[in-house]
């Protein structure tokens, strides 16, 4: 009979008995390794972790910082595509002309998403809200004044985004 390291009858195998890279993932039964089996100081190489969404069912406490990047949209982009994987939830856009209709592109995955938009108006004369964009009429009037604004949004359904703005900041 062949075996790794010492004969199993003599003592239990230890990590010293197993050469590096001898046990592959194909040899490990799915769900056979649990958190308790992993040393608390063990490092997992980032390339070994699948790049997929993670669903957490319990409350989480974050002790470090989490920062989002700001996606700068092309000038006069009036459609905020929340379904795009190239956009973050923090956007920046400059309006230089016209009467843009503020529109949000939504789907089932965007429900619950919130974010911020740095909103710069250097020349647009008025703004209109598409039916997906729920914003106070007074806020649309405010946006027509040249300046920089902070817009916050919260997607509440597949066809509604609540939007609020700051007063003119700059």
**pLDDT one-digit tens code per residue, 4-23:** 555 666 667 677 777 777 77
Q: Does residue 138 sit within a domain?
A: yes
Tell whether the model's pLDDT for residue 1 goes beyond 60: no
**Residue 84, in any domain of the structure:** yes
Three-class SS state of 56: coil
Collapsing DSSP states into helix, strand and coil, what is residue 65?
coil
Separation CA 100–CA 76 (nearest Å): 8
pLDDT above 90: percentage of residues in the chain: 54
In a domain, 91, yes or no: yes
Q: Do the domain assignments include residue 43?
A: no
Is residue 28 one of the residues assigned to a domain? Answer: no
* Residue 110 backbone dihedrals phi, psi, to 5 degrees: -90, -10
Average pLDDT over all residues of the chain: 84
Residue 18 counted as domain residue: no
For 35, other C-beta atoms within 10 Å of its C-beta total 6
- Asked if residue 151 is part of any domain, the answer here is yes
Confidence (pTM): 0.65
- Indicate if the alpha-carbon torsion angle 35, 41, 44, 49 is positive or negative: positive
Number of domains forming the structure of the chain: 1
**Residue 149 CB neighbour total at 10 angstroms:** 19
Q: Is 127 inside a domain boundary?
A: yes
Q: pLDDT tens digits for 137-167? A: 999 999 999 999 999 999 999 999 999 999 9
Count Cα neighbours of 88 within 13 Å in the Cβ-side half-sphere. Answer: 13
112-141 confidence digits (pLDDT tens): 999 999 999 999 889 999 999 999 999 999
Query: Is 90:73 a contact under the CB 8 Å cutoff?
Result: no
Range of the domain at 159: 70-165
């Amino acid at each position: 009979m062949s075996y790794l390291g010492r004969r199993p009858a003599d003592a239990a195998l230890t990590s010293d008995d197993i050469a590096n890279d001898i046990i592959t993932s194909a040899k490990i039964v799915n769900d056979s390794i649990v958190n308790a089996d992993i040393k608390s100081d063990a490092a997992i190489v980032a390339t070994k972790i699948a790049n997929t969404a993670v669903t957490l069912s319990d409350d989480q406490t974050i002790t470090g910082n989490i920062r989002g990047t700001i996606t700068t949209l092309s000038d006069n982009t009036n459609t905020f595509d929340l379904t795009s994987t190239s956009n973050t939830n923090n956007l920046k856009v400059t309006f230089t002309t016209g009467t843009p209709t503020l529109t949000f592109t939504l789907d089932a995955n965007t429900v619950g998403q919130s974010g911020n938009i740095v909103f710069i108006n250097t020349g647009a004369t008025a703004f209109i809200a598409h039916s997906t964009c729920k914003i106070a009429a007074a806020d649309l009037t405010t946006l027509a004044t040249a300046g920089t604004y902070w817009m916050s949004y919260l997607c509440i359904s597949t066809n509604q985004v609540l939007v609020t703005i700051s007063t003119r900041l700059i």
